[in-house]
Amino acid sequence: MAQPLSGITILDLTHVLAGPFCSMTLADLGAHVIKVERPGTGDDTRTFPPFSKGKSAYFAAINHSKKSIALDLKKDADCAIFERLLGRADVILENHRPGVMERLGYGWDDLHAQFPRLIYGAVSGFGHTGPEARRPAYDMVVQARGGVMSITGEKGRDPVRVGASIGDIVAGMYLSQGVLAALMDRERTGVGRKIDVAMLDAQLAILEHAVAITSVTGTPPAPTGARHPSIAPFETFHATDGLFVIAAGNDVLFEKLCVALNLPLSDDPRFATNPARVENARLLKRLIEAVTLDKTRAHWIAKLGAAGIPSGPIQDVAQVMRDPQILARNMVVDVLDRNGRPAYKAAGNPIKMSGLGDPTVRPPAPDLDGDRGEILRWLEGKG
């Protein structure tokens, strides 16, 4: 069975993370991704550590399975190649500041007039509309401005960014969803769409409980550490050898937890309902830890798991990459080098689809301009 995006060509002008994360997702689903880079320097992440044999593992993890051609869109000869690529492409992706593509003559209006079936995907800090559309942004800027940092960290301490670059990554995920929706729409209409994703918008979109709390109470939530502000018990707990997590997300699970811990709390009015448990979350934590501090994390995770109560260890990334469940799902894959040898590790494709293989290796990340000849032959219909 062919991959779902087999035959779809993506012309990818994006760099760093949000856009490349989108095009990586589309490549994992079978799209032919041509990465258009700046001559001489290419994507900024080519210089990001760590390095293996002089090449960035960061770049390889996000840009495997793509092809690279270096083009200067201020030079006529390179523009001629670029316009031929546009004629063969289904989607163009860009993450320049709004106005840059228009100055080059390749904004949405110009391209849509010349290539009406072309889908135009744009991701930027603040989007293509609004009073601050042209402001620059990075991941940390939108995590801060979008409210995520205000609810992340421990109560009474300085705000912290989420450890993963969710400002970029979530925007890239929304862009890939937009591209897939536009491809489906084009099947019906024959016409391409412009997709405009703002990193700032995407941060607000993931604040499900924070928006609900603020809209009803008028008071924005503060950081609560690992504890969920609307569910209890739903946080970290101490055992004899450290912390683990328990997530009892409803009354049935809480009753099972009480049985497993031999704690007669399920009929106590302070804990009988989730709102009551949230109100008394600090007391509930102390009562639970009075029991869990008597045994190891492994003991409690096994016992709670046997009772059907969601719980688990707090793993570092090295432990995650050795986790049997992660490995069984092909979620750690090898990225090959040009000689077909494993060179880097990367996250696998979390989208598992019936009837499709789920390979444990990925093609190499491209050298800068390393696929020029192949791409030009493809344009001539010879590749």
pLDDT tens-digit map of 249-305 = 999 999 999 999 999 998 999 999 999 999 999 999 999 999 999 999 999 999 999
Give the percent of the chain with pLDDT over 70.
Answer: 99
| 228 is an active site residue | yes
The secondary structure element, H or E, covering residue 94 is strand 91-94
Q: Which two tokens stand for residue 137?
A: 């942004």
On the 0-12 / 13-18 / 19+ scale of CB atoms within 10 A, 332 is middle
Q: Would you state the structure tokens that stand for residue 131, as one six-digit string?
A: 């009073």
- Are the C-beta atoms of 15 and 168 separated by less than 8 Å? no
**Domain residue extents for the chain:** 9-206+327-379, 234-314
Examine the pLDDT at 319 and tell me if it is beyond 80: yes
* Residue-level pLDDT at 53: 85
pLDDT in tens, 83-116: 999 999 999 999 999 999 999 999 999 999 999 9
Could you tell me the pTM of the whole model? 0.93
Which residues make beta-bridge pairs with 34?
A: 11, 67
Contact 275, 252 (CB under 8 A): no
Query: Facing residues of 29 across strands?
Result: none
- Amino acid (one-letter) located at 230: S
**Residue 383 pLDDT greater than 70, yes or no:** no
Q: Which among 245, 97, 224 is positioned nearest to 154, based on CA atoms?
A: 224
C-alpha distance across the termini of the chain, in Å = 22
* Catalytic one of 32, 209, 228, 299: 228
Could you identify the residue written with the tokens 């700046």?
Answer: 38
Is there a cis peptide before residue 98, judged by omega within 30 degrees of 0?
no
234-314: CATH class? alpha beta
Decide if 65 contacts 25 (C-beta within 8 A): no
Statement: residue 2 has pLDDT above 90: no
Taking a C-beta distance cutoff of 8 angstroms, is the pair 20, 12 a contact? yes
For 9-206+327-379, give the CATH class: alpha beta
Q: Please check the confidence at residue 33 and state whether its pLDDT lies above 90.
A: yes
For 105, the 3-state DSSP assignment is coil
* pLDDT 10s digits, 39-85: 999 999 999 999 998 899 999 999 999 999 999 999 999 999 999 99
Q: Which helix (H) or strand (E) holds 367?
A: none
